Chains A and B, each alone.
Chain A
Amino acid sequence: NAGVTQTPKFQVLKTGQSMTLQCAQDMNHEYMSWYRQDPGMGLRLIHYSVGAGITDQGEVPNGYNVSRSTTEDFPLRLLSAAPSQTSVYFCASSSGRTNTEAFFGQGTRLTVV
């Protein structure tokens, strides 16, 4: 009963490095999304996908790329890390049916130095 699985849990990057945060879900959910959580700002939507092959920008997309080649996976790529991207990142999925909730992964704590 895995749900939404994120890796890694912790990561430290140097400014300018790139990396990919992994997210996988086993609930056959159509909708997947990435949020970042910063103190006093709640969760802000970075990118989302409504199905394989379909992605769109959220509230704070700059500096991040996504792709959705399968229903299960939705990786988030940081192309050139900046200290402003230090945050906790959450992946979420939902079925897309009306009135249903989102399910969250355990989060990735990223520090950019």
Chain B
Amino acid sequence: DAGVIQSPRHEVTEMGQEVTLRCKPISGHNSLFWYRQTMMRGLELLIYFNNNVPIDDSGMPEDRFSAKMPNASFSTLKIQPSEPRDSAVYFCASSSGQVADTQYFGPGTRLTVL
């Protein structure tokens, strides 16, 4: 299995621009997570999907952030408009949803907003 795939790996954009991050979970996994990691705040859960349905989005910072999962093999995290404080590494993770299951992380997208 190829593992969790994220694209792009690096993104540099200017303040005010729209940014879209993409994730392909491990085939057969029915849970998907988006995380953000910064030096100041560490790893934070942004949103959790189960069977393509958003279950918990309480970690989404504000209305500028949105996430979708149109099917079991694809998810997007969009920031519109982007701000310099959104600069971080964004990780996608997936799990099988079984009892005591583990989350498998992608390589991350390093976002820099100028």
Asked if A and B bind, the verdict is no
> Measuring CB to CB, which residues of chain A are less than 8 angstroms from any residue of chain B?
none
> Measuring CB to CB, which residues of chain B are less than 8 angstroms from any residue of chain A?
none
